[in-house]
Amino acid sequence: MNRLLLCSMAIVFTTTVAGAATFQEDFATDPLARGWRVFGDRDLFHWNPTSQNLEVTWDSSQTNSYFQFLPGTIVARDDDFSFGLDLRLDDIAAGVNPSKPSTFELAFGLQNLVNAQGTNFLRSTGTASANLVELDFFPDTGFGPTVSPAVWSTNSLLNYNGPEDFTIMDLPVGVPMRITLSYTASNQTLSTTITTNGVSIGAVHDVRLSPSFTDFRVGTFAIESYSDAGQDPRYGGSLLAHGVVDNVVLTVPPNPVKDLNGGINHGVWQVQFVSRSNWVYTLERTMDFQTWTAASGAAPGNGGGLVLEDTNSPAARAFYRVRAERP
C-alpha cells in the first residue's frame, strides 16, 4: 500500500475548487522555505530571487535529482488530476557524452516518492522506473525530436498503445512555453497542451491507458533530472539542458483526511473526519513519538464522515494520528 500519515495539522492547499485541491507556485519567495525540497544534486536547481523563477539544469551525467513538492495526497488511474508549468529552454543537447550518443529525456511530472528516490530507480533502462505520470521530451539525434506524455505502472511497465503515443515535435529554445498535462479518469486519457503566448505550437497526441495497463500511485510533483546510468551501451543516450521554470499549477483530489477532530467520548479517544473512497484508514497512537501502534482496525473510506476509536486499554497520556493508505 501507499501511505500518508495525517495528524491534526493537515497540509493546506492554496485553493480548493469543485472538490479538487489546487496548488500554485510562482517562486516569488524561496520555495525551499515553503515545502519544496531537493533530492540529489542541489546544484541543478537554483531559485532566482530577482527574476522570481527556478533555474534548472537537466544533466544526465549526474545522479537522479529532483526539485519536489508533496501535495499531501496520492492519485491513481481513477482520479482526475492535472499539472502544468511555464518553461523556457535556454539550451538543450542530447548525445553530449560521446559514449552515449543517443537521445535522452528532459522530464517533469508526478512520481512516487519512495520509488523515485530508491537506489534501484533507473529511468534510463525502461524497466526500473515504477509509478510515473510525466512529460518527457527527447531532443533529436537522428530520429526526430519527440514529445512523449508517459505513464508508468506500479510494476515498472510503460503504458503503450503504439507509435501514436508519441508526437514528433520540437520544443523551441529561448521562447516561454506553457505546458499542461491533464488526466481524465472517465476516459482514462492523458492530454497535453503546449502553447506560446496562448497559441499552440502543435497538437500533442493524447495518451489513453491501454487495456493491459494495471495502475499507478503517484503523490509527488517534481522537476526531474534523470541519470543516464544503467543503459544498454549499444543504445546509450545523454542530455544536458538549461532552462527556467515558473508558475507551477497542480490540481489533485482533496486531502484524504478533511475536517479532522478528536476528543474523549465516554472515556474513549475518538477521531472524526471526512474520508475518501478507495482509501483505508487506521487510528494510531504513541506514548513517545518513537513507536506508533494501531489503535483501531482498518476502516475503508466512504466518501463521507468516518469515526475511528481507540480500542486499546486507556493510557495516562497518548498522542494520535490517522494513517491513510491507498491500496
| Same structural domain, 182 and 305 | no
| Same structural domain, 241 and 275 | no
Q: Are 209 and 159 in contact (CB under 8 A)?
A: yes
Mean pLDDT of 19-31: 94
| Same structural domain, 81 and 219 | yes
| Same structural domain, 210 and 170 | yes
Q: Is the dihedral of CA 111, 114, 116, 122 positive or negative?
A: negative
| Same structural domain, 65 and 89 | yes
Mean pLDDT of 271-299: 95
Q: The cell 537506489 sits on which residue?
A: 119
Residue 13 lies in a domain: no
114's enclosing H/E stretch is: helix 113-116
Residue 100 lies in a domain: yes
Task: Answer yes or no: is pLDDT of 54 > 90.
Answer: yes
Q: What are phi and psi of 167, to 5 degrees?
A: -125, 120
Mean pLDDT of 42-51: 98
| Same structural domain, 202 and 295 | no
| DSSP codes of every residue in 45-105 | EEEETTTTEEEEEEETTSPPEEEEE--S--B-TTS-EEEEEEEEEEEEEE--BTTB-B---
The CA distance from 162 to 141, in Å, is: 21
* Nearest residue to 301 via CA among 262, 258, 263: 258
> What's the pTM value of the predicted model, to 2 decimals?
0.90
| Same structural domain, 182 and 274 | no
Find the CATH number of the domain harbouring 160: 2.60.120.200
* Nearest residue to 229 via CA among 37, 97, 60, 3: 60
Task: Answer yes or no: is pLDDT of 1 > 60.
Answer: no
pLDDT tens readout for residues 229-246: 999 988 899 999 999 999
The cell numbers describing 33, all together, are 522555505
| Same structural domain, 149 and 268 | no
Q: Give the range of the structural domain holding residue 318, as residue numbers without chain letter.
A: 258-326
Percent of the chain with pLDDT over 70: 94
pLDDT tens readout for residues 100-117: 999 999 999 999 999 999
Task: Answer yes or no: is pLDDT of 4 > 60.
Answer: no
